[in-house]
Structure 1
Amino acid sequence: MIKKITGSDIAHGKYILVDNTHFLQVGALIYRVKNGILEFLLITSRGSGRWVIPKGWPISRQSFSQTVLQEAFEEAGIRGIVDTFPIGTYEYEKLDLRKKNSKFCVYVFSVLYLHQEKEWPEQNQRTYEWVTALEAAGRISEPKLKKILLQYKP
């Protein structure tokens, strides 16, 4: 059973287990409407170079919404407005620093794009691109995240 959270919930630590097997992370589905077309911002991961959305660990004593906005800024330079409730979840696995397989459940919050800063912390570590939902779904490897993208309506 997936834990229910809202953006106003406060994290009481970095490593939060969702269901005894998956660590909780929060992600930003950043969107804009340009020339009448809904677009999403994708970034590359630092490790594998795969296309992903900005995401990260909860930050202790911060709301999940604050963490989502911080990840959007640190990873893509984005300032925006985050929704109160997650629009979905998806799972993924990766090797941690100890070469152990870790499982994650990412709670995805939509973020309305306002602007992109000229400089941000991970600017030289990632590539970003605005794409349609169909293009994004073709680049993303996680099936549940593809579904979230394809079904999202602002």
Structure 2
Amino acid sequence: MTSAFKKAWAEVVQPMISRPRRLQVAALCCREGDKGAKVLLITSRDTGRWILPKGWPIDGLTAPDAALQEAWEEAGVKKARIRRKPVGSYEYDKRLEGGVPVPVDVKVYRVDVDKLADTYPEADERRRRWVSPQEAAELVDEDSLKTLLRQM
């Protein structure tokens, strides 16, 4: 009886109650500093934790172009070159309105930043900071994003 219950749970009940993974795109904004590569982190609007600019795919834009749009809106990236292939990915649980967690896969695209704007859509809602990839890995929460940053 126990194995029948486990099989029913694994094959029927659990798939019905699990939420499917959703996709987001992120911009790994980089520049060369005096002491090597720097990564641009921003704060999230809700908790203030350090993150990469990211968001949902945008109709009419490719994934890298959507990541670049998020970099503009959330971090003020005005002039940049984006690589068309993702440099990696990471997973996290996004809390939607009402506190319901949704599992998300994030594809990360490298953006080589030439210029930041002082005024941009979310300037009043976020802070931004250039840090080394190692420091960035210490500041973000997601383990797989930490790994990606440490490999730069």
Q: TM-score, normalised by structure 2?
A: 0.84
Q: 1:126 aligns to what?
A: 126
Match of 2:111 in 1: 111
Q: Distance in 1 between matches of 2:41 and 2:146?
A: 12
Letter of the 1:61 partner, please give it. G
Name the aligned partner's letter for residue 138 of structure 2: G
Instruction: For 1:53 and 1:99, locate their aligned partners in 2 and report how far apart those are by CA, in whole Å.
Output: 21
Instruction: Give aligned pairs, total.
Output: 133
Q: Equivalents in 1 of 2:71, 2:58: separation in Å?
A: 14
Unaligned runs of 5+ in 1: 1-19
Alignment of 1:33-52 (within 5 A): 33-52=32-51
Match in the other structure for 2:16: none
Report the residue type matching 1:145 in the other structure. L
Structure 2: where are the runs of 5+ without partners? 1-18
Mapping 1:59-98, distance limit 5 Å:
59-78=58-77, 79-98=79-98
1:6 is aligned to: none
Deviations 1:88-139, CA, capped at 9 Å, x for gaps = 1100002211321111100000000110012100001000100001111110
Q: Which amino acid aligns with 1:77?
A: G
Amino acid paired to 1:124 = D
Deviation at 1:36, TM superposition (A): 4.3
Greater C-alpha Rg = 2
Q: Which whole-Å deviations, capped at 9, do the CAs of 1:43-75 have from their partners, x for residues lacking one?
A: 000011000000000001211121111100000
> Aligned residue for 2:15?
none
Larger fraction in helix: 2
Measured in 2, the distance between the counterparts of 1:45 and 1:133 equals 18
What pairs with 1:5-16 in structure 2 (closer than 5 Å)?
none
Aligned partner of 1:102 in structure 2 is 102
Letter of the aligned partner of 2:98 in structure 1?
R
Equivalent position SS for 2:150: helix
| Aligned AA (2:48) | G
* Matches of 1:94 and 1:58, distance apart in 2: 15
Distance in 2 between the 1:121 and 1:62 partners?
19
Please name the residue that 2:138 is paired with. Answer: 138
SS in 2 for 1:75: helix
Q: Percent identity?
A: 38
Partners in 1 of 2:83 and 2:105 — Cα distance?
Answer: 19
Structure 1 segments, 4+ long, off by >4 Å, are: none
Alpha-carbon RMSD: 1.1
